[in-house]
Structures are given as C-alpha cells and as structure tokens.
Structure 1
Amino acid sequence: MAKVRALDPSKTASSLDTPTDLKPDGVAAVSKALNALLADTFALYLKTKNFHWHVSGPHFRDYHLLLDEQADQIFSTTDDIAERVRKIGGTTLRSIGQIASLQRVVDNNAEFVPPVEMLRELMNDNKAFTANLRKAHELCDKHDDVATASLIENWIDATERRTWFLFEASRAGDNSGH
C-alpha cells in the first residue's frame, strides 16, 4: 500500500484534491493552524504598513524605513503559507472577512500612536506571532509534517529578528539604555 494517497483513476478528482501522504486529520489540523497564521500575517502586515504610513517624529526616517522593510518581509510569507496549505491538500483563505474571523493580531485604528508605542506594539505582536508559530510547529510534529515544520522554523527566525529590531529601535525613545 502506497503512503501517498492516490487519486482514484475511476473517479473524477475534485479540482482541489491534492495527493499527500499526510492523514486527513493531519491535513485538517495543519491547514487550520496555517490559515490562522496566514490571517495573522495579513493583519500584522497591514498594521505594520499602517504604522509605516503614520509614523512621525525625530526618528521618522529610520522608523519609516524599518517598518517598510518589515512589512515587505511579512507580506512575502503570505504566498508560502497559503501554498503550503494547498500542497498538503487543504484550502486556504478566500476573503478579508475570513481573515478578520481568524486573526489574533489586534487591529489598531487609533488616529495617532506615538512612534515608540507603535514599535512596542508591533514588537509584542511579533512575539505573540512567534508563540503561535511554535504551537503550529508542535502540531506539525504531531502529524509528521516535517516540511511545514521546516518552513515554520524559518518564519520563527524571521519573526524573532523583527522582534529584536523593534525592541532595539523602541529603546531610542527610552534614554535609559536598558
């Protein structure tokens, strides 16, 4: 018996049926976790761009460029996450409404946010995102999905880097050196 679920040649395959060696419960669990991460990624991207567009003050240029760089990095992972869901046979997000229903990153619609508060808020959002990535990694381990786990490890590293940069940049308004 082959490990990879074969498509039955006597039946017409569903347009979205993707062969995989993951068990159906693994596909469902990992897809659900990845879709929540994808929703968070879109929410974190938009929040980072919001702050990029609305940052002001003496460190404007540095913060503006930092947030733009981080937003680009965050956005670049969206396709990888969504395509991984499809590669394992799941379906992924289809709308802004679905993103809103799954996201755990809290929106910030304030008219003005002081720059250091922006950086700290994004730092905390990235820290929480790392924790959610680790939970998804554990789920992948449980279902023997090493490929997704490997991708998640890279996303954790990138998110920890963003967290570090946001922490250090937010200290510019701190003057305590701690």
Structure 2
Amino acid sequence: MADAFTASPVLGESLQKVLADVTALSLNAKQLHWNIVGPGFRALHLYLDDVVAIAREASDEVAERMRAIGLTADGRPDSVASANTLPKLGEGKISDVDGAAAAVAAITATVGTLRQVHEKVDVEDPASADILLDYVRRLEQQAWFIGSAIATA
C-alpha cells in the first residue's frame, strides 16, 4: 500500500494564499451586495450573490483539500485580513458603476493569486491545481458578466 501524499511547505503556502483571497472575495462581494445603489442595482445585486456562492464554495473546497493532504487551513478573520491581496473597499453606499468596478477588481486580484500559484501547485499536486483552474474559469466568467452589465458600447 502506498503512503499518503503529504504536502510540502511551498504547496501549503500557495494554497493558504488562495484560501485567504477566496475568503476575502466572498466577504467583499457580500459587502458590495448590501450597499450597491443606482439603476444597475438589481442585476449587480444578483451577480454578486453568484460571486459570493462561488467564493464560499472555493474556500471550502480549498480548505478541505488542504486538510486532505496534511495541511492546516487558516480562515481566521485576522489571518484572512492580513494575507489577502484584494483592493480595500470603502465604507458606505457605493454606486452601481463603482461597485461593479470594485467587484471586477476583487475578482481579478483573486484570479491573479490563483494563476500566480498554479504552476507551483501543479508541479507538486495536479489534483489541487485542477481545483484552482476550475475557479479561475468560474470567476473570470463572473468578472465578464459584471463588467458587461455596466459597460457601454
């Protein structure tokens, strides 16, 4: 019987970066969802729910993958706050146009982290890399949807 796969510190650091960003994305998208105002409110409100669902699913899947390969997932608020790469959101209400731009920026930062660590992850653990690629595709689609909702021809 083969020994169980155990992740290296590099793989652990890479997956922890992803976990911090997808967890922060779910929080930022929900913050925007609650505070969007303007003519594009309804569409953006619904798109942001989709982003939240994808990000929450990603955080759970990444954290569970980490545990499956012998790592400890750190989703504590302080850890996520200090480690995520997303742009900071302002307080209060936000216009639909500014909110869409903020959502796209947050998704883009998250996808940037997924892409940045993908190669290192793939070298050591293609199964974890496959998880990352799935969320790259899904989040890029959401960025496209949200950006298109407020774009002009």
* TM-score where L is the length of structure 2: 0.91
Structure 1 residue runs of 5 or longer lacking an equivalent are: 5-18
| Equivalent pair of 2:100/2:150 in contact (CA under 8 Å) | yes
The one-letter amino acid paired with 1:72 is: A
1:55 Cα offset (Å): 0.8
Report what 2:109 is aligned to. 128
The one-letter amino acid paired with 2:146 is: L
Report what 1:168 is aligned to. 148
Q: Which has the larger Rg?
A: 1
Structure 2 residue runs of 5 or longer lacking an equivalent are: none
Task: Find the aligned partners of 1:155 and 1:70 in 2 and give their Cα distance.
Answer: 11
Is 2:11 the partner of 1:27?
Answer: no
1:83 Cα offset (Å): 0.7
The one-letter amino acid paired with 2:27 is: L
Report what 2:51 is aligned to. 70
Deviations 1:100-142 (A, max 9, x none): 1211113313223221111112112212222211122111123
Is 2:36 the partner of 1:55?
Answer: yes
- How many residues are paired up? 153
Match runs of 1:103-118 below 5 Å = 103-118=84-99
| Equivalent pair of 2:87/2:105 in contact (CA under 8 Å) | no
Q: Could you list the structure 1 runs, at least 4 aligned residues long, displaced by more than 4 angstroms after superposition.
A: none
1:60 Cα offset (Å): 1.7
Aligned-pair identity in percent equals 27
Between Structure 1 and Structure 2, which shows a larger proportion of helix residues? Answer: 2
Per the alignment, do residues 115 and 94 of structure 1 end up closer, same or farther by CA in structure 2, a change over 3 Å counting? closer
| Equivalent pair of 1:48/1:70 in contact (CA under 8 Å) | yes
1:99 Cα offset (Å): 1.1
Task: Find the aligned partners of 2:47 and 2:108 in 1 and give their Cα distance.
Answer: 17
Secondary structure at the aligned position of 1:169 is classed as helix
The one-letter amino acid paired with 1:41 is: V
Secondary structure at the aligned position of 1:34 is classed as helix
Task: Find the aligned partners of 1:69 and 1:125 in 2 and give their Cα distance.
Answer: 14
Match runs of 1:143-158 below 5 Å = 143=124, 145-158=125-138
Task: Find the aligned partners of 1:163 and 1:94 in 2 and give their Cα distance.
Answer: 24
